[in-house]
Structure 1
Amino acid sequence: MTTASFSLSIRTARWALLAIPVLALLSGCMVGPDFARPAAPASQHYDIDAERRLSHEGDSKGASHIDFDKKADGDWWQIFGSAKLDRVMRQAIAGNLDLEAADATIRQADEAVAATRGSLLPQLDVGAAGGRERADRAGALATSNFYAVGPQVSFDFDLFGGTRRKVEEQAALAELQRHRFDAAYLTVTGNVASQALLLASARAQIQAVQTLLTNDRKNLELVQTAHRYGSATQVDVALATSQLAQDETLLPPLAQQRDAARHALSVLAGKGPADWVPPDFDLDEFVLPAGLPMSLPSELARERPDILEAEAQLHAASAAIGVATADMYPHLQLSASLSQVGPGGGTLWGLVGGLTGPIFHGGTLQANRRASIDGYDASMADYRRTVVVALGQVADVLQAISHDGEEYAAQQHALDAASTSLRLTQQGYRAGEIGVLQVLDAERTYQRALINHIRATTARHLDTLQLSIALGGNSGDAFARSAGNHLERVGFDQTPAHSP
């Protein structure tokens, strides 16, 4: 090698060494906005009137109390204190097909993140070619075979962070799928608890109706006997028959409610109704908590899965702006190849750097960026709407719990009055002061009051359940608890980037 060639190689190496930190610095830039979480709601209340009536200082008769200083521990459905419900819930979580599909969707989204991250690394391929050629060699035509084989390397310096913004976008979409899993988890567990309560309520009402029908039949027999001896008219017999027929209509809808709840629990557990029959639930095994844990609106925005899902969608829309912005800037690519050519051709290598920058694309790039900004605005509106709807749902449930307390107190009073009337009537019958028909009528009145009391109790339990669901139900780590630890397979750096 000559001295001049050696000096040229030294100068080239120096320029290359100087270019490396410059390119690295440029590669650290990311255009587009850096995502910031939306501010939590400033409101401190859902419904001031309902909160006042449900507070410890309120006078809501028969209603549960809410406690903003109390936080739910463990799984949300454990507030009912039912070990049987907990066992069925575990089986449903393990077998539910919606959760299985959501789990697979999360894995798919994580792989999309990994695939996009791979674009940040050098791409190594191998190329091979072969053929037959005819060439003029020293005035003579010669035909020969040839081949070329060797590696090829390419690398995009991602000067303005377009690829990294794509990674950020895919990571946000993967986060969205995790929150969507949490939402599905909350829906499934809420449905299981609801169906278990409906099953228990139906069974309790069926038992009360069967007692009612027994009294109706006794009443009809007594009236028919009295008619035979002339102490009752045909109108009395018709009235007793009509009452029995009317009360018999109460039983089929309750049986349908019971069977539908059983079938729903089987489906929620991922089984056909003929393949798995859930256990029977009794209403008295569900304990209604006196104090209901409550979250402030600012905490709700960080706990409800649908709000977190909308936030992840907003994050993805923000990253999409960076992707569209980076497309408007130059791209620097470096490629190299090394080929062994034969037979007898030796080794060929090549190193190519390419810089491409958009000049005129008919307004496409600018339109894409404006569209991405519009998409972000739409996602922000969706996020705000989701928050407002969530606040409204909590307010509705708080009012429902308050009114449930009033209804329950009224039904409890009616049941107590019917119980007292039945007791006094039975005492009068034993003393010979009252006839048996009056006793049966008092028993019938009591059973009807009992049915209404069961319905009021069921409403309280269901609305308490709905409050837990509306507050997010402690489902924030549902996927980690239910689907394993594969989320760590594909990580991503969420450190805020800086625009150049």
Structure 2
Amino acid sequence: MRDILPIRTLLFAASAASALAGCTVGPDFAPPQAPSATSYRAAYDTSGMPVPGAPAVIRGEGPELRWWTAFNSPALDKLVDQALAKNASLEASNATLAAAREQVAAVRGKQLPQIDANARAEHEQVNLASVGFKANPALGIDGNPEFNLYSVGAGVSFDLDPFGKLRRGTEETAAKAEAQLRQTEAAHLAVAGKVVTQVLTIAAIRDRIATANALLADDRRNVDLTNKRKQAGEGTLVEVLNAQSQFENDRSDIPQLKQQLAEARHLLATLIGVTPSELGPTDFDFSQFTLPSQIPVTLPSQLVHKRPDILQAEANFHAATAAVGVATANLYPDINIGASLEQGSTDFTHLLGNSSRGFDLFGGLLAPIFHGGTLKAEKRAAVDRAKASAATYRQTVLQAFQQVADLLQAVDSDARSVANQHEATAVAQKSLNLSRRSFQVGNTGILQTLDAERQYQKARYNLVEAQARQFTNVAQLYVATAGGWIEQKN
């Protein structure tokens, strides 16, 4: 037991030295202050006045994590949940996050004593002549002897980290893991938003196809009616050809719309983690969704503490600040202490005997003297990277505020646009009905009816586009202020 007391003494000294080593060079990270802005738009901006038909914006804590349920569509909810569970990109992001967390544990382990064991068996021949001995049988020296050598041992080493290089390195790695967490949160938010947007896109395309089919049915009736008028001697061949031309033109739009629908479905399948052939029915239309009457929007002062891309930029800034500490510590000496214990014998049965035991204690200091300016340049580079990260953080905050302000404006503008398009569609429908009746009784020609149909088709398409834009911008506003992954894992 007395032989291993020096090792225990060394370990105790190392632990005590570690506890006393409180010097950590480099700047300490301080989270950036929250912005002083209380609103996303200027106080004099009258565009923020309430608009009839627009969802009311409620400023406070922001939307719920499962914000997509506000559209009141169980089918949509199911698709988003499936995407969050099976999307391949999210799976990769989750795995990358797990790896980043393991890396933190790996780096943190370097702050503790490093203990290793070793064992070795070897067969040797000693060249006596190389060390000045000659063969002498009388003395028992006969040629170059051969023998087996067995050894076992253990060693411990400990970096006292007097200037905090390891501690700053652990801090840097932990901040990078935090950045990866926030990037994973942002990825989940983005995928949820893409699924909602894609479903709304499918609904819009299907509504356009339905409008095109309804107009095509009217075109067929026009062709039949002009043929009958011509056969009765009341119409002309020109009217028949005009009606047929309109029918063919409208019919040519439908294949392109169906192609767009197929592509939208294929993208949705990829988002939810299945092949296009495995995607079930997607018979969505806007009548299946409810536009939220209220949209909870996060306050500006809280957005910087909730939105993942801002939190990721802050974590990157933290990592860059810690890296300055690592580069600074490289300019100072480093101290290592340790010990080893080894048993060695040519006879395996005597390997653990006291006579074959040996140990050593060591302490080492490594101080940089001249490295051609490399270490100082690395520190300056680390400082510059920290400045860049600080600027990137500020830019991320400004862009986030811009996005929210744009979407708040869009919510108001969309409500006005939808209301206007409803009125335009109603007027175009009345005009079309009057034109058809006038043509049927022979008061006008087919060209006036065809023109009224084109105006109605345009108005109907514009209404669908306005509705799609309104729902999409509401969804994007939820994403812009939702501020967290569905499970909020930390």
Tell me the TM-score normalized by structure 1.
Answer: 0.84
Which amino acid counterpart does residue 184 of structure 1 have in structure 2?
A
1:48 lines up with 2:18 in the alignment: no
**1:132 pairs with one of 124, 127, 131:** 124
Following the alignment from structure 1 to structure 2, what is the Cα–Cα distance between the partners of residues 49 and 428? 54
1:194-213 paired onto structure 2 within 5 Å? 194-213=197-216
Q: CA deviation at 1:154?
A: 0.8
Task: In structure 2, list runs of 5 or more residues that go unmatched.
Answer: none
1:328 lines up with 2:331 in the alignment: yes
Whether the aligned pair in 1 keeps the contact of 2:414 and 2:470 (CA below 8 Å) is: yes
Following the alignment from structure 1 to structure 2, what is the Cα–Cα distance between the partners of residues 411 and 314? 47
Whether the aligned pair in 2 keeps the contact of 1:122 and 1:155 (CA below 8 Å) is: yes
Following the alignment from structure 1 to structure 2, what is the Cα–Cα distance between the partners of residues 452 and 49? 32
Q: CA deviation at 1:28?
A: 2.6
* Percent of aligned pairs with the same amino acid: 41
Are the structure 2 counterparts of residues 261 and 439 from structure 1 closer, same or farther at C-alpha, using a change threshold of 3 Å?
same
- Worse-matched range after superposition: 62-71 or 290-299: 62-71
1:315 counterpart SS class: helix
Partner of 1:38: 32
1:321-400 paired onto structure 2 within 5 Å? 321-343=324-346, 345-400=355-410
1:79-478 paired onto structure 2 within 5 Å? 79-129=70-120, 130-132=122-124, 134=126, 140-141=140-141, 143=145, 144-343=147-346, 345-420=355-430, 446=456, 448-471=458-481, 473-476=482-485, 478=487
Whether the aligned pair in 2 keeps the contact of 1:165 and 1:322 (CA below 8 Å) is: yes
2:382 counterpart SS class: helix
Task: In structure 1, list runs of 5 or more residues that go unmatched.
Answer: 1-9, 481-486, 488-500
2:277 counterpart SS class: coil
CA RMSD of aligned residues (A): 3.2
Cα offsets for 1:382-420 (capped at 9, x unmatched): 111111121222222222222212211111111233455
Whether the aligned pair in 2 keeps the contact of 1:185 and 1:478 (CA below 8 Å) is: no
Following the alignment from structure 1 to structure 2, what is the Cα–Cα distance between the partners of residues 242 and 309? 58
Following the alignment from structure 2 to structure 1, what is the Cα–Cα distance between the partners of residues 241 and 436? 26
Following the alignment from structure 1 to structure 2, what is the Cα–Cα distance between the partners of residues 261 and 418? 30
Whether the aligned pair in 2 keeps the contact of 1:54 and 1:66 (CA below 8 Å) is: no
Whether the aligned pair in 2 keeps the contact of 1:262 and 1:278 (CA below 8 Å) is: no
Following the alignment from structure 1 to structure 2, what is the Cα–Cα distance between the partners of residues 236 and 426? 14
Q: CA deviation at 1:19?
A: 6.2
Partner of 2:67: 76
Are the structure 2 counterparts of residues 61 and 49 from structure 1 closer, same or farther at C-alpha, using a change threshold of 3 Å?
farther
Cα offsets for 1:21-67 (capped at 9, x unmatched): 87245423211111111122222232337974344xx3x35433322
Which amino acid counterpart does residue 393 of structure 1 have in structure 2?
Q
Whether the aligned pair in 1 keeps the contact of 2:62 and 2:299 (CA below 8 Å) is: no
Are the structure 2 counterparts of residues 200 and 26 from structure 1 closer, same or farther at C-alpha, using a change threshold of 3 Å?
same
Are the structure 2 counterparts of residues 252 and 17 from structure 1 closer, same or farther at C-alpha, using a change threshold of 3 Å?
closer
Following the alignment from structure 1 to structure 2, what is the Cα–Cα distance between the partners of residues 254 and 426? 27
Cα offsets for 1:347-393 (capped at 9, x unmatched): 10111111222222221211111111011011111111111121222
Are the structure 2 counterparts of residues 20 and 335 from structure 1 closer, same or farther at C-alpha, using a change threshold of 3 Å?
closer
Following the alignment from structure 1 to structure 2, what is the Cα–Cα distance between the partners of residues 357 and 340? 33
Are the structure 2 counterparts of residues 80 and 126 from structure 1 closer, same or farther at C-alpha, using a change threshold of 3 Å?
same
Q: CA deviation at 1:174?
A: 0.8
Which amino acid counterpart does residue 132 of structure 1 have in structure 2?
E
Whether the aligned pair in 2 keeps the contact of 1:30 and 1:162 (CA below 8 Å) is: yes
Tell me the TM-score normalized by structure 2.
Answer: 0.86
2:276 counterpart SS class: coil
Whether the aligned pair in 2 keeps the contact of 1:50 and 1:399 (CA below 8 Å) is: no
Cα offsets for 1:97-152 (capped at 9, x unmatched): 00000011011111111111110111111233445354669955363433332111
- Worse-matched range after superposition: 411-420 or 324-333: 411-420
Following the alignment from structure 1 to structure 2, what is the Cα–Cα distance between the partners of residues 74 and 469? 10
